[in-house]
Chains A and B, each alone.
Chain A
Amino acid sequence: MADTKREVFLEVKNLRITYETKQGKVKAAENVSFRIHRGEFIGLSGESGCGKTTTALSLMHLLPKEGKVEEGVILFKGENILDYDTKKVEALRWRDISMVFQGAMNALNPVHKAIDQMITALRIHEDVTEQEAKERSLELIKSVGIDPARATSYPHELSGGMKQRLMIALALVCHPSIIIADEPTTALDVMVQAQILDLFNQLRDRTNLSVLLITHDLSVLAETCDRIIIMYAGRIVETGRTDTIFTMPEHPYTKKLISSFPSILVDKEIDFIPGNPPDLINPPSGCRFNPRCDFAVDRCRQEVPPLECENGHCVACWRRHEF
């Protein structure tokens, strides 16, 4: 599925993003580069605070005002969208690149019926009649597995799972070619989570949609994604095909992350990574994982390891080939 010959239609190169704070500049993302092909499902994972949401927001031009893209290029269909003015960004957002935000299901406007919110969203972006907008909205509501009879419900009358389906329907309303889903199942029960992931899988079978699925729960990505990106402290440390990442991880952080994941299928001793992720105002020099890495040597503390690729499996570790 992850056919590299397929059309690359989103490419991020050397992205560097900072946030201005009272305590200093937070180096939230650095040297972030990746590609998304048409129809591909990419997983982005790593512990809280590693820069996942920051990266996602930059793709939508939605960083908060203290956030700044200091460097880098985001190529969408060959154009650098970071150069776009407000008008071009608005034309792109929701219609080409769409997003389901973290915790968004609580962001539905409580005083409007679900369907009305969709009709409004659609009519802001496209020149359609009320009737057309209504028909398309109902179609979408059905496609995400909500009984059309519930379309006229108010958000508080819907369960968490239904609200999340609705957010996905809203994100799909203008037929985007890529949807970014930030922790779309984190607050949901396992059965509802499985239903939502199943919905993403159905969408992939029906359309040529690409999905960037962001979650700190790596196991959620195993059954859904073609490729996985692992971030640590603002940098990508490893990317590769899903099976490669899970069966042959090479970065010490990814290895630890996977071995720390409890699984109901095996009897695993509890494992964890001692210590905490670093403060991104003053991150460690060299490899940012070095203070927690069992294999760190002097070079790791001095020089930043580049993300190097072999057969599509990219790893940023000086000692990759030593173990």
Chain B
Amino acid sequence: MSDIILEARGIKKWFTVRSGLFSTIFKRTEPTYIRAVDGIDLKVKRGEIFCIAGESGCGKTTIARLIMRLETLTEGELWFDGDKISDMSESEFKKYRTRMQMIFQDPYGSLSNNMTVEDIIAEPLRIHNICRDECEVDERVRSALEDVGLNSPDEFVGRLPHELSGGQRQRVAVAAALVLNPDLLIADEPVSMLDVSMRGQILTLLLELRAKKNISIIIITHNLAVAKQLADRIAIAYLGKIVERGETKQIIDSPMHKYTKALVSVVPVPEIGVERNRILLTGETPNPISIPSGCRFHTRCPFVGDECSQKEPELLKMSDGREVACFKAQVSDAAN
């Protein structure tokens, strides 16, 4: 048993643009690529809650889909619990499929509306032929419901998704993901559609599950405040690459990459009268079709230097253990 449950080595996902629109705009005849994920290494430990954070278009959802094999890799390798899964055939991969599960952003869209709670949770058991008989299915459905805090299963098994509150629906989605006892749970924006009180309930649930089952969780979110409450480690992504990674508290309390600094500085906070040095970036994240040269953040970086547009900074380890891909941060770290 490996201490690392999931490892990604240099993974890339380039989508080919099929429509002529972009090619016309960029006056190109050779194929055009959207470099959604552009060379990322990851190691997620057993029992760890690891966060991938960043703004839309940074590639975070695509990373999750690559891990789940919902997209094929353009380049790179994926390892699960010590085994290389990236070039396995579908039949070889089958036994790993039950060991990683995903929950999605939208508790409304992700559950089909004509299935009862029982059907929804039992479906993965039936598809993978896990149980000896229907009694065992029933038993596992009920215990999964209890695991997610829906403590009177009888009350819920017969209900349809629209008869549940938003928070309950997300709990059912978590129960369906957990019923197979996965080692890894990937949660893509699991609370971004929920109100704050509901959000707290789901986050608490995820923490309890980790404590009880030692499950690893990859949480994908744009919400740094949620990341801070939940994740042990965090990776900040920008245009398909990781720009900073380390312990969540370290990264959010004292970010080093200029992009992380800017991002943290504008997160709204429910505190009043706190002097904050806001770094308001202008413009928006460039299109991943035409990623800037050098440091891909240099076109928006308020601290940009000469070398930044020429060379691409590597993700290097700093003296405090975090990793940062920024020339200026690397220089100032070396000086200390």
Contact = CB atoms under 8 A, between A and B. Distances in A.
Interface string A245-259: 011000000001110
Nearest to A273: B197
Interface in B185-222: 195-201, 203-204, 207, 222
Nearest to A188: B56
A220 B224 CA distance: 14
A216 B257 CA distance: 31
B266 A194 contact: yes
B280 interface: yes
A262 B226 contact: yes
23 contacts: A47-B195, A47-B198, A189-B56, A189-B285, A190-B266, A190-B268, A219-B225, A222-B269, A222-B272, A223-B268, A246-B271, A260-B197, A260-B199, A261-B270, A262-B223, A264-B225, A264-B228, A270-B229, A272-B196, A272-B197, A272-B199, A272-B204, A273-B200
Interface of A: 47-48, 159-162, 189-195, 197-198, 216-220, 222-223, 242-243, 246-247, 256-258, 260-268, 270-274, 276
Among A48, A219, A264, A267, the most chain B Cβ lie within 10 Å of the Cβ of A264
B274 interface: yes
Interface in B276-314: 278, 280-282, 284-285
B131 interface: no
Contacts of B4: none
B297 to A, nearest CB: 12
Given A261-B225, A266-B271, 19 more contacts: A48-B166, A189-B55, A191-B266, A191-B280, A191-B284, A193-B268, A218-B196, A256-B197, A258-B270, A262-B223, A262-B229, A264-B252, A264-B267, A270-B230, A272-B199, A272-B201, A273-B197, A274-B201, A276-B167
A216 B196 contact: yes
A194 B166 CA distance: 27
A219 B269 contact: yes
Nearest to B197: A273
Q: Across the A-B interface, give the 5 residue pairs with the lowest CB-CB distance, nearest first.
A: A272-B200, A194-B266, A273-B197, A262-B225, A219-B268
A246 B271 CA distance: 7
Contact of A222 (B204, B264, B268, B285): B268
Contacts of A268: 229
A258 B271 CA distance: 9
Nearest to A50: B195
Contacts of A159: 284
Nearest to B196: A260
Nearest to A265: B269
A162 B55 CA distance: 16
